[in-house]
Copies of this chain bind each other. A is one copy, B any other.
């Protein structure tokens, strides 16, 4: 019917035989217009397939109702990362509800480029995900733009950030394995410079020492009566690293008589578990395995992996809600927002004889 791509309000008004002020009133819904006029304008809208330009609106309103989301991560998967993906899904849904739209960028160089880009786009606020360089935060602070940080680490008390309570989760994990009777534990820790990995480990070790098990980083064999925790650190946090580390330390694992593995994330744990299974170690009969994150995969594995869940949905949703409050000008939003971690008991730590007391793990 009409070959032009986009029509302006002026053209619309012309067709309806009114001024663009009047047309604007009908379209935007604020200001009065008589029923006949409204009707005429609406007919013209249909005819032209008129879509108001959000660009022009943003220009005069001086805000866009857009939120910029930047995921800082140097390698794939980024959006397809099990945890970040879930957070982003929730962000998208929460944003929709609050009337925002999402500009998504991944920044593999952890540079300022993506931030600059968002600033130029005049987004109303920024959600910064994952570990980001300190200079990014400093940079963002220079501009008066509202922002929240998700799953990153900072000592800066001004930064509004959302994190899972990794320290408490680590402690819960320690308790779970202790309760199940494990006294010789093998810990596979992810990169210490990541906030979550280091806090999960710290929480675990603190609690385990409170429970009376000595922690050592040496790999000497333990005598029969000894208890002991073996800690191995990995510079990477993927499945392959879990495989590699478990293979490397398999001998120590055996010679120290460990009965359980705990990893600071599920990927490492699954890698480790696969190595054990391949070598004929039965899980959970010969060794228990426990991870952290409750990724989709954990429940699907054979055996299903006991883990600690992270409230990705809560974090994602609240990231948007809190940012919205900041955008609205509220100043007293909480700086530190922690989300509870919960132990999800599954088969990988549940021997037949355990089931009687607490066989509530989902699969």
Q: Mark A117-159, 1 if CB is under 8 A from B, else 0.
A: 1011110000000000000000000111100000000000000
The 8 closest A-B pairs by CB, nearest first: A80-B85, A54-B120, A104-B104, A5-B144, A80-B86, A277-B302, A51-B119, A79-B88
A49 at the interface (CB under 8 A from B): yes
A102 at the interface (CB under 8 A from B): yes
A51 to B96, CA, bound (A): 27
In the assembled complex, the CB of A147 is this many whole angstroms from the nearest CB of chain B, namely: 13
| Residues of chain B with a CB closer than 8 A to A277's CB | 302
When all copies of this chain in the complex are counted, the total is 2
Chain A's interface size range is: 35 or more
A300 at the interface (CB under 8 A from B): yes
Binds B, one of A37-45, A55-63, A353-361: A55-63
A337 at the interface (CB under 8 A from B): no
Q: Identify 21 residue pairs between A and B in the complex whose beta-carbon atoms are under 8 Å apart, listed by A's number.
A: A4-B144, A5-B143, A5-B144, A49-B142, A51-B143, A52-B120, A54-B121, A55-B55, A55-B58, A59-B59, A76-B86, A80-B86, A80-B89, A80-B296, A92-B106, A101-B105, A104-B104, A239-B296, A239-B300, A277-B302, A297-B300
Contact B300 A116 (CB under 8 A): no
Contact B104 A55 (CB under 8 A): no
A274 at the interface (CB under 8 A from B): yes
In the assembled complex, the CB of A239 is this many whole angstroms from the nearest CB of chain B, namely: 5
| Residues of chain B with a CB closer than 8 A to A117's CB | 101
| Residues of chain B with a CB closer than 8 A to A239's CB | 296, 300
A228 at the interface (CB under 8 A from B): no
A residues whose Cβ falls under 8 Å from a Cβ of B: 3-6, 49, 51-56, 58-59, 64, 66, 76-82, 85-86, 88-89, 92-93, 96, 101-106, 108, 116-117, 119-122, 142-145, 239, 270-271, 273-274, 277-278, 296-297, 300-302
In the assembled complex, the CB of A65 is this many whole angstroms from the nearest CB of chain B, namely: 10
| Residues of chain B with a CB closer than 8 A to A66's CB | 103
Kindly list 17 other residue pairs between chains A and B, CB separation below 8 angstroms, not including A49-B143, A102-B104.
A3-B144, A51-B119, A53-B122, A55-B58, A55-B59, A76-B86, A77-B86, A79-B85, A80-B82, A80-B86, A80-B296, A81-B85, A96-B105, A101-B121, A239-B296, A277-B302, A278-B302
A302 to B144, CA, bound (A): 51
Residue from B51, B59, B121 within 8 A of A120 (CB atoms):
B51
Contact A78 B92 (CB under 8 A): yes
In the assembled complex, the CB of A80 is this many whole angstroms from the nearest CB of chain B, namely: 3
In the assembled complex, the CB of A133 is this many whole angstroms from the nearest CB of chain B, namely: 18
Residue from B77, B93, B144 within 8 A of A106 (CB atoms):
B93
